[in-house]
Amino acid sequence: MEKTQLNQAPSEANNGENPVLSQEPVNFIQEIINKDRETGKHGGRVHTRFPPEPNGYLHIGHAKAICLDFGIAAKNGGLCNLRFDDTNPSKEDIEYVESIKEDIRWLGFDWGDRLYFASDYYETMYQCAEELINKGKAYVCDLSPEQIKEYRGTLTEPGKESPYRNRSVAENLDLFRRMRNGEFPDGSRTLRAKIDMASPNINMRDPVIYRILRATHHRTGDKWCIYPMYDFAHPISDALEGITHSLCTLEFEDHRPLYDWVLDNLSFKSRPQQIEFARLNLTHTLMSKRKLLELVKQGAVNGWDDPRMPTISGIRRRGYTPESIRVFCERIGVAKSNSVVDIALLEHCVREDLNQKAPRAMVVLRPLKVIIDNYPDDLVEEFEAEINPENPELGARKVPFSKVLYIERDDFAENPPKGFFRLAPGREIRLKYAYYIKCERVVKDETGEIIELHCTYDPASRGGWTNDGRKVRGTSHWVSAAHAVDVEVRLYDHLFREEVPGPDSVVDPDSLVTLAGCKAEPGLAGALPGDRFQFLRQGYFCVDKDSAPGKLVFNRTVSLKDSWSGKQK
Ligand code: ATP
Ligand code: MG
C-alpha cells in the first residue's frame, strides 16, 4: 500500500493555480456525477445510500463513507438513504443498529424518513432468485462448501463446472422452494448464479447467491432459513430504492461485474451504478470492525467506546467534535488508490476546531504544593483570566489566588538542566495572570521526595508583570489549594505503537495513563459530561461519562503540540 499524506488544503491541491480564483477541487466521483447530470442519466437525479452491516460499531473509516454518501447527495440536491445491510444474521444485532444511527446523527447527517433494511426486501430478493431460475440463470447446487471452493479454480486456473449445473428449471424451482421451506440441513445446498466457471474474475465463477442457514435474525426472527449473499442482495436493494450512485470501497471493484450481472438479468426500472473509492486507513490504528470486536472481547480496551478506539463512539467520548471529523474527511479527499493517512492530521483538525471553541481553564495534573511565605494567611484575591483568547468577546472568568497553591511537578527542577526556564531554587517565574514568585526553599520527606516549595511573591508584579523591565522567562499555570477541585484525568496515546499495526500488534499498555488527584480551578466544578476545555499548556480535555456529582473525570482529547503542522514545514 502506498503511503501518502493526503492532506493538501483545497488551495494547495490545485497544482499551483491561484488559490483565490480556483474552486473547491472536484473529486472523481463528483466528475462522474457532473457528467451524468449533463447527459440526463438517471433523469438528472442523485440518490446515494450508506449501507452499514450492523455487526459492530462504526469507525472513522465509516465516517469517510458517511461524509461522502450524505455529502455528495447534499451537494447535488439529492438524497441519501440509510440502509442496514443485514444479510448475515449470525453476526448482527440490534445494539449495533442503534449505535450506528446515533453515530450518523452525531456526525450531523440526516436520512429523513429513508431508513431501510435489506431484510425488508427478503421476499423480493427471493422472487428475484426465482426469476433467475426461470431464466435458466441460477441453479441449486449440492456441492459442499469445501467442494465449491475446490471447483472454483484459482487466479491462474479456470474453475470446474458443478455436476448440478445443468438441472432443469423445474427441478431447480422445486429444490429452491424446498430450501426455503426448511427441508434441507444448513450448508447442504446453495443457489448459485450460472455465469462462467472459466471467467478470469473468480467472483463470476457461478457465485453462491443463497445459502441455507438457521439463525435467528434480529428483525425477521426465524421466518427465513435461507439468506441471500451480499453480492446478490446489494444491487437489488440499490435498485429497489432507486439509488443512482452506489459508492463503496475498492475491495468491491472485482465484484462490480457481478453487481452489473445481477441487474442485467433482472427486470428493474432503475439502474444504479457502483463506484469504488479508496478506504481510509490511519497510522497507529486498526480499521476493521472484526478486529475492533476482538479487542473489545479480549478486554484489551474498555468497550467499543473506549476513548482510544477509532470508533465514532470512542472518538466522541474522547472529545472530538463532529465538525472536526467532517473537516478531516473533506481534507483527506476521495481517491482511487489506497493509502495510509497520518493520524496527526486528524488530531490537527480537532485542535484547530477546539482552539476556537474550548473555554480555557487551569488544571494541575501532577500537583506540587507551593507556599508563599510572604503572602497574607487569609487573603484571597481574584484574578481575571480570559475564557478564550481566540474569542475575546466571551470575556473573562475569575480565578482565586491564595497563600497555598499547586503547580505542576514538571515546572520545578531542583537542579535545572540547561535550557530549563521554569522554577528552581533561587529562580523566579510568573504565575499566569497573578504574580511573580521566587523559590526560596525546598522541603522533602524522609525518602527525599520533594513535598513542597516555599516561595516569596513580589506584590509589584500583580497581574503577572512588572514595569521595571525585569525578565522572567517561565510562566506556569497554578491552582489555589483551598479552592481546588480534585479531578481525575485520563491521558491517551495511540492504541498501537506501530505506525502500521500488523496482525501481531498488541495494544500499547501505556496508551492509557490515569492521573487521580489532579487539581482544577473551581470554575470547573459544574462541568458536565461532554463539556470540552483547553487546560492551559496541557491540551484539550472533555468530561467523561464516568463522571458523577462530586467526581469529575476528564479525557485528554489531544495535547497542544501539533505534530502535523511540524511535518508540513
Ligand atoms: P470493516 O471492514 O471495518 O468491517 P465493512 O466494510 O465491513 O467495514 P460495512 O458496514 O460493510 O463495513 O461498511 C459500510 C460502508 O462503509 C461500506 O460502503 C464500506 O465500503 C464503507 N467503509 C468501510 N470501511 C471503510 C473505510 N475504512 N474507509 C472508507 N469507507 C469504509
Ligand atoms: Mg462489509
Q: How far apart are CA 198 and CA 210, in angstroms?
A: 21
Share of residues in the chain with pLDDT > 90 (%) = 92
Q: Name which of 182, 190, 189 is nearest 207 in CA terms.
A: 190
Q: How large is the average pLDDT for residues 496-503?
A: 94
| Beta strands 532-535; 512-520: pairing state | unpaired
Q: How many structural domains is the chain composed of?
A: 3
Q: What are the distances in angstroms from CA 220 to CA 56, 89, 224, 344?
A: 19, 9, 7, 43
Query: How long, in residues, is the chain?
Result: 569
446-468 pLDDT, tens digit each: 999 999 999 999 999 999 999 99
Q: Are residues 190 and 252 in the same domain?
A: yes
Asked if the structure places residue 167 within a domain, the reply is: yes
Give the number of whichever ligand sits closest to the CA of residue 60: 1
Q: Are residues 261 and 240 in the same domain?
A: yes
202-221 pLDDT, tens digit each: 999 999 999 999 999 999 99
Q: How far apart are CA 67 and CA 322, in angstroms?
A: 11
Is 53 annotated in the active site?
Answer: yes
Q: Name which of 7, 29, 60 is nearest 336 in CA terms.
A: 29
pLDDT score of 301 more than 60: yes
- CB of residue 290 inside a 6 A radius of ligand 1: yes
pLDDT score of 495 more than 60: yes
Q: Domain boundary residue among 256, 277, 298?
A: 277
Cell of 371: 507556599
Asked if the structure places residue 11 within a domain, the reply is: no
Place of cell 476482538: 294
Asked if the structure places residue 17 within a domain, the reply is: no
Q: How large is the average pLDDT for residues 489-501?
A: 97
Q: How confident is the model at residue 471 (pLDDT cuts 50, 70, 90)?
A: confident
- Which of 60, 238, 279 most suits a substitution to test ligand 1, by most atoms within 8 Å of the C-beta? 279
Q: Domain boundary residue among 277, 305, 329?
A: 277
What is the reported pLDDT for 164?
98
Q: Are residues 522 and 454 in the same domain?
A: no
User: What is the distance in A from the centroid of ligand 1 to the CA of 266?
Assistant: 27
514-563 pLDDT, tens digit each: 999 999 999 999 999 999 999 999 999 999 999 999 999 999 999 999 88
Is 545 annotated in the active site?
Answer: no
Give the number of whichever ligand sits closest to the CA of residue 51: 1
The minimum-distance atom of ligand 1 relative to the CA of 287 is 3
64-118 pLDDT, tens digit each: 999 999 999 999 999 999 999 999 999 999 999 999 999 999 999 999 999 999 9
Q: Are residues 113 and 55 in the same domain?
A: yes
User: What is the distance in A from the centroid of ligand 1 to the CA of 399?
Assistant: 48
CB-CB contact of 159 with 197 (8 Å)? yes
What is the reported pLDDT for 566?
67
What is the reported pLDDT for 23?
56
Q: Are residues 198 and 265 in the same domain?
A: yes
302-312 pLDDT, tens digit each: 999 999 999 99
- CB of residue 53 inside a 6 A radius of ligand 1: yes
- CB of residue 288 inside a 6 A radius of ligand 1: yes
355-380 pLDDT, tens digit each: 999 999 999 999 999 999 999 999 99
**DSSP secondary structure letters along 332-401:** H---SS-B-B-HHHHHHHHHHHHHHHPPEE-EESSEEEEEETTS-TT--EEEEEES-TT-GGG-EEEEEE
The domain that holds 514 is classified in CATH as: 2.40.240.10
What is the reported pLDDT for 568?
66
399-430 pLDDT, tens digit each: 999 999 999 999 999 999 999 999 999 999 99
Q: How large is the average pLDDT for residues 308-319?
A: 98
Q: To 10 degrees, what angle do helices 94-107 and 60-75 make?
A: 60
Average pLDDT of the chain is 94
Q: Are residues 270 and 168 in the same domain?
A: yes
Select which of 91, 271, 279, 438 is catalytic: 279
Asked if the structure places residue 389 within a domain, the reply is: yes
pLDDT score of 8 more than 70: no
Query: Which domain, by its residues, includes 387?
Result: 363-477
pLDDT score of 131 more than 60: yes
Residue having the nearest C-alpha atom to atom 17 of ligand 1: 248
Neighbours of 10 (CB within 10 A): 14
Q: Are residues 383 and 325 in the same domain?
A: no
Cell of 318: 474522547
Neighbours of 26 (CB within 10 A): 10
Residue having the nearest C-alpha atom to atom 1 of ligand 1: 288
- CB of residue 234 inside a 6 A radius of ligand 1: no
Select which of 45, 194, 256, 289 is catalytic: 289
- CB of residue 357 inside a 6 A radius of ligand 1: no
Q: What are the distances in angstroms from CA 387 to CA 320, 348, 357, 362?
A: 20, 22, 10, 11
The model's pTM is 0.93
- CB of residue 67 inside a 6 A radius of ligand 1: no
Share of residues in the chain with pLDDT > 70 (%) = 95
Question: What's the CA dihedral at 478, 480, 485, 489 to 10 degrees?
Answer: 20
Give the three-state DSSP class for 248: strand
- CB of residue 205 inside a 6 A radius of ligand 1: no
User: What is the distance in A from the centroid of ligand 2 to the CA of 106?
Assistant: 22
Is 35 annotated in the active site?
Answer: no
